[in-house]
Structure 1
Amino acid sequence: MKAALFSNLSRLVPLSLMTLISVMIIGLTGCGGGGSSDGSTPSSPSASVSAGQITGFGSIIVNGVRFHTGGATLEIEDGTEFELTNTNNEDHLSRGMEVEIEGSIDDNGNGTATRVFVDSTLDGPVANLNQAGEVYTFTVLGQMVIAAPGMTVVDDTVLNSNLGTLANGMVIEVHGLPDGNGKVQASYIEWKANSATGLPADAFELTGKAVSLSAPTFMIGSQLVDYSNVTPRDGLLVEGSLVEVKGNLNAAETFVATGVEVKSGFDDHPEFEVEGLIVDLDTSAKTFKVRGQLVNYAAAQFLGGDETELINGVKVEAEGPISGGVLLAEKVKFKSSFRYEGPGNRVGNELTIDNPDGPNLTIIIDSALTRDETTGGEGPGEFKVRARQLAGANLLATRAEDDAGDPDRQIFQAPVVRIAAPLVEILDLDGANGVIVVDTSTMSDAPGDSDFEIEDAEVTRASFFASLKVGDIVKARYRDNEWDQIELELAD
């Protein structure tokens, strides 16, 4: 009965995650290396590559791994190189930037980078700037960019860390995740120039799917690209290829390419991690693409969701070896880890959720970012929601739908922030405390009827807390004015 109640939540299918993006900062300690805390022989590292967003420093954190960067080479897209130390990373890098890392990850999960490559998604002028509540939309070279506080890190120099300082005509660099449909969920934005006047022929960059291919032109979103002066490199240019194009606009607003790179995936590696939005999902073949990399998930373990929740536009991290150009996923992690099932009150594009122990939650349901399948309109109702955290108790829904469950119960799923048994705090409030405080003191751990579960198996209270760590994903149920069930999903 308990498992059935919790399984309803796992059937919630997410849409594109922006949150875009935002990303969750993993609170790891230490700065890499291969040392073992118990004095045992350190495990040997294996060659690996990681591609994703920077989510923290102290060395750099990408895809939940802290990479030691002392002596690593940092390469910017224009070919400029720097030598990184473990203290100068923030001079050249920022949270939210998209990077590729070459190096190693040892058996203890410690990373060592030998090369870090910065790879932005768009460089070009802002147009059609619009703000609706917390969400900003605009176009850059025909691609819709979606940005929001908490999901998008903004340059702290000219732009003052404020999306409100953007202006039409301003040239910016955008890091983010193309969804395959002409939209980019921005994770980082940096000012480049106040206007495009006088910029060189290769000043702009455009990443996306090449469609309507008719040599020597193709479309990326609504932007026409002319590549008559160049030969595409690193792969065969075909309809639907993911490409990175450098160039500039001519008087007719055609993008005149000075370079076209076909992003056909990564070289074979024994260990690889890639984060991005799913495109080209094929449920029969059990494959999808992330950042141009073909992923086979037939043998994957799913974390933060299940196979039924895969859909184009969902943000995931896939881990495993690449063989023959295919990433054979051992793990697929859903990156939108907050879920809710229960009553709420919707007014306009905001859904308010009562929090049993803490500030009420406000979930934004935005037409550009949310797969909204609710039918009840405004007012009170029952909802199933998958969302990304913007900041504190404010979240952005990636999918919302009606629920017809028990109106007297609420189910929350979120990462653990703080553990002080019998209290478990989930959903980061301020880096140290949780938005939601789950009090397990009212729960039973009687044999055969325990309210504590690890991966659907009942356990004792002591076993549960012995296994629980900060960063783990838990589901907790609040019913009839008390917390009455909690389940831990193991990451490994």
Structure 2
Amino acid sequence: MRQLKQHLQWAICATTCALSAAVLVACGGGGSAGSGSTSQTTTSTTPGASIASVDGTITGFGSVIIDGQRFDDSVAKVAFANNADTQTAGTLGDLHTGMHVQGELKDGVLQNLVVNFALVGTVGAVDTTAGTLTVFGQTIKTTTTGQLPTVFDGFSALSQLAVGDLVKVSGTVASDGSITATRIERKAKDGTEVFRLSGAVQAVDTTAKTFTLVGNSSVTVSYADAKLLPTGAVIENGKLVSVVATAAPTTTGGKNVLTASVVEVKARKLADSSDTTVGGPISDFQSLSSLRIGDVVVDASAATLKEGTVAADVVNGAQAQAHGTVKDGAMKADWLRVFKNDTAIKALLVGQVTDYVSLANFTLRGTVVDGSAAKFTKGTAADVAAGAWVQVTGQLTSAGVKATEIAVQPPPADTVQRLSGAISGVDLTAHSLTLLGTTVKWTDTTKLNFNVTNVTALANGLTVTVEGTYSATTGVFTATSINVTSTPGAVKTIGFSGVAFNVTADSLQVGSYTVQLTANTALQPTGTKLADIVNGSRLSIKATVTGTDGNVKLTALTIELQKPEKDASGNDYVYLGGLIGDFVSSASFTVGGQKVDASASTVKFIDGDATKLANGVKVEIKGSVKDGVLVATQVHFMPG
């Protein structure tokens, strides 16, 4: 879909490792490492099907939300392009805010979603004042304001990055060769890195088979032994390329040389379609009939300007979205909108809360939410806890989402569900109580656990697990069983996954959580030492939660270091974390929207067995993606 034009801004699809729908962005806590190049989304040719495409930045989940527009992801297949000519299957839980994605839709439903990195390399310099860093000679620009601030993963501020750190960057490459990042991930080095540079070619030497990239004369690319894609491609000045290498640049003959294994010439174009949506910054603006959004040439001369947009808003650098017909790689737009303060791109997250520390610090669809200043349009702050169904609207930040509105929602209707948490509003006469903002009623046939001899023992503040069914007609959850799990004052334990940073002998950070380490913290797998856990390591943590909302302390009980592993087919294992939903059997359930099959007799269960699988149960799953389904090899039951 890339079309060359030197001195124009152009967008490279961005990605990360980890694509959720569990997160839907676990990830629900999960996420896997994927690295990538750009690959064109294959367009279905099924007769009678309505084919469309979308290109933009992920701004939320609960289905996948791209540039504020929600897309059904119920059958979506996710892929990361590890090299220019190969892709690695991912999960919906690997998707995260800030990723730039290209998707194919059929009859309005996402079929395929491809994510890529614009750049992968090691940090050479950091300028915290300018908000920039340099990677392999290429300048990366960040922003903490505007419609799409840069999302940081594995660090919370540029000052925490160090020279030599490995980063993966999603974003837009400008005509001067710099990248405006929508997402930057810090990763631990493990020897399997695939490096990447992207930009416009200059200073081609066809005899020596070398070139440099616009804005990056400090690194010379050698393509003498590289595979050129597509077949028959020719390296020429001005052409946009993506360079893949298995080793970092080295000094040769007085030059800093990156030896390319693959060079992909960006001759790709969006498939012809009468229903395409593109989003990104405007560049190369000449007039409404000649501009570019992301890397797509757009003619908006006959377009309707939507949501208060006027012609004066259509300027270089403005964040915009357009819809129309694509032919030969260019779009004839039927509508266009520029995002402004009053039509801002809103972050939207819909799903179950997975990791709750406080109202200012909880996780929804793999995204950290600060709801401390949010207005509740339904329910109250007391209803928000692990397992609660909520809808969050807010603004993207470098750390996640700052919520402006929160609506507590009921559980799915007419299916067996499991609710857990502290109860309130206990009315023994009416046989009712409130749990996670939902009215729960019991009957004489409701089963009680052995700690409760009769329902008169139920009292406000007790922590319970309730199983039953919610009726949308009555607005009541009818319990078939009530299990009292703890009493007020008991130490709470939670489990979560993420990328470590600010690692010391006494503590580390994962996302928005600061975790204390003690002599009793168990490191896994066997033989793991604290020295093995470095900035960028992916960890799975169980921790106790003590203190109040204003002063919460997390103390690690166990820390599992997740190292790259491959399945029997040589594919990387992926990890997915979150709450089980849509449970039919061990062979058919979802985690944050991602379909999972854990029915194989060889599946390893940790802290439980297959009989423990049920809606609302928190798990972390390890497995391989086959035809859009995560086939589990390990299921780890996690505390809430």
TM tier relative to shorter chain: 0.5 to 0.7
In structure 1, the residue matched to 2:442 is none
Structure 1 residues 83 and 154, CA gap change in structure 2 (3 angstroms): closer
Contact 1:71 1:83 in 2 (8 A): no
What amino acid is the match of 2:225?
Answer: N
Query: Aligned-pair distance for 1:290?
Result: 3.6
Equivalence for 1:103: 105
Q: Which residue of 2 aligns with 1:207?
A: 198
Which residue, out of 156, 162, 165, partners 1:167?
Answer: 162
Could you list the per-position Cα deviations for residues 438-458 of structure 1 after superposition, in whole angstroms to 9, with x for gaps in the alignment?
Answer: xxxxxxxxxxxxxxxxxxxxx
CA distance in 1 between counterparts of 2:298 and 2:260 reads 29
What residue identity is the alignment partner of 1:178? Answer: V
Task: Write out per-residue CA displacement over residues 109-154 of structure 1, whole angstroms, 9 at most, x where no aligned residue.
Answer: xx4111111111110111220112xx62111222211224461212
The corresponding residue for 1:221 is 215
- After TM superposition, give the deviation of residue 160 of structure 1 in Å: 4.4
Q: 1:246 aligns with which of 244, 260, 265?
A: 244
- Return the alpha-carbon distance in structure 2 between the equivalents of residues 430 and 173 of structure 1: 27
Give 1:291 deviation, angstroms: 4.0
Contact 2:284 2:291 in 1 (8 A): yes
Among 137, 140, 145, the residue aligned to 1:142: 137
Q: Indicate how the Cα distance of structure 1 residues 261 and 63 shifts in structure 2: closer, same or farther if over 3 A, else same.
A: same
Cα distance change, pair 300–255 in 1 and its aligned pair in 2 (3 A): farther
- Deviations 1:34-87 (Å, cap 9, x if unpaired)? xxxxxxxxxx97211111111101121113332222332211111454364xxx
User: For the Cα contact (< 8 Å) 1:73–1:81, is it kept in 2?
Assistant: no
Pairwise mapping of residues 73-472 of structure 1 onto structure 2 (< 5 A)? 73-78=77-82, 79-82=86-89, 84=91, 89-90=92-93, 92-104=94-106, 111-132=108-129, 136-149=131-144, 151-155=149-153, 159-193=154-188, 198=191, 203-215=194-206, 216-222=210-216, 223-230=219-226, 232-234=228-230, 237-247=235-245, 248-251=248-251, 252-264=255-267, 265-283=269-287, 286-303=289-306, 305-337=309-341, 430-432=403-405
1:414 corresponds to: none
Q: Specify the alignment match of 1:442 in structure 2.
A: none
Contact kept? 1:154, 1:189, Cα under 8 Å: yes
Query: Which moves more between the two structures, 301-310 or 117-126?
Result: 301-310
In structure 2, the gaps of 5 or more residues are 1-8, 15-23, 25-47, 344-369, 378-392, 396-401, 407-640
**CA separation of 1:308/1:233 partners in 2, compared to 1, >3 Å: closer, same or farther?**
farther
1:172 Cα offset (Å): 0.5
What is the aligned length?
297
Q: CA deviation at 1:239?
A: 3.3
Instruction: Identify if the C-alpha distance between structure 1 residues 336 and 324 changes in structure 2 by more than 3 Å, giving closer, same or farther.
Output: same
Whole-Å separation in 1 of the counterparts to 2:52 and 2:320: 18
Between the two structures, name the one with larger relative contact order (CA 8 Å, sep ≥ 6). Answer: 2
Distance (whole Å) between structure 2 residues aligned to residue 154 and residue 193 of structure 1: 15
- Preserved CA contact (<8 Å) 2:80 2:88: yes
Q: Report the CA distance shift for 1:113/1:139 in structure 2 as closer, same or farther (over 3 A).
A: same
SS in 2 for 1:432: strand
Residue equivalent to 1:69: 73
Q: Is the 8 A contact 2:281 2:294 kept in 1?
A: yes
Deviations 1:3-33 (A, max 9, x none): xxxxxxxxxxxxx9x9xx9xxxxxxxxx9xx
Structure 1 CA distance, aligned partners of 2:90 and 2:121? Answer: 28
How far, CA to CA, are the matches of 2:127 and 2:79 in structure 1?
34
Q: 1:336 to 1:204 in 2, by over 3 A?
A: farther
Q: Distance between the aligned counterparts of 1:431 and 1:315, measured in 2?
A: 21
TM-score by length of 2: 0.41
Q: Deviations over 1:369-425 (max 9, x none)?
A: xxxxxxxxxxxxxxxxxxxxxx99xxxxxxxxxxxxxxxxxxxxxxxx99xxxxxxx
CA distance in 1, matches of 2:236, 2:317: 22
Going from structure 1 to structure 2, the CA distance change for 1:54 and 1:243 (only over 3 Å counts) comes to: same
Percent identity at matched positions?
26
Q: TM-score, normalised by structure 1?
A: 0.53
Alignment partners' CA distance in 2, 1:297 and 1:325: 15
- Secondary structure of the residue aligned to 1:267 is coil
Letter in 2 for 1:301: T
From the superposition, tell whether residues 227 and 300 of structure 1 become closer, same or farther in structure 2 (CA, over 3 Å): farther
Contact in 2 for aligned 1:63/1:273 (Cα 8 Å): no
Instruction: Work out whether residues 394 and 403 of structure 2, in 8 Å CA contact, stay in contact via their aligned partners in 1.
Output: no
CA distance in 1, matches of 2:192, 2:49: 44
- Contact kept? 1:242, 1:292, Cα under 8 Å: no
Counterpart code for 2:187: K
Is the radius of gyration larger for structure 1 or structure 2? 2
1:59 paired with 2:63, answer yes
Cα 1:83–1:260, aligned 2, differ >3 Å: closer, same or farther?
A: closer
Change (3 A) 1:336 1:254: farther
Deviation at 1:162, TM superposition (A): 4.3
- Matched residue, 1:7: none
User: What's the RMSD between the two structures over aligned residues?
Assistant: 3.8
One-letter amino acid of the counterpart of residue 138, structure 2: Q
User: What amino acid does structure 2 have at the position aligned with 1:249?
Assistant: P
- Partner residue in 1 for 2:621: none
Task: Structure 1: state its 5+ residue gaps.
Answer: 1-15, 22-30, 32-43, 340-390, 393-416, 419-425, 434-492
Distance 1:192 1:427 in 2: 28
Q: CA deviation at 1:309?
A: 4.2
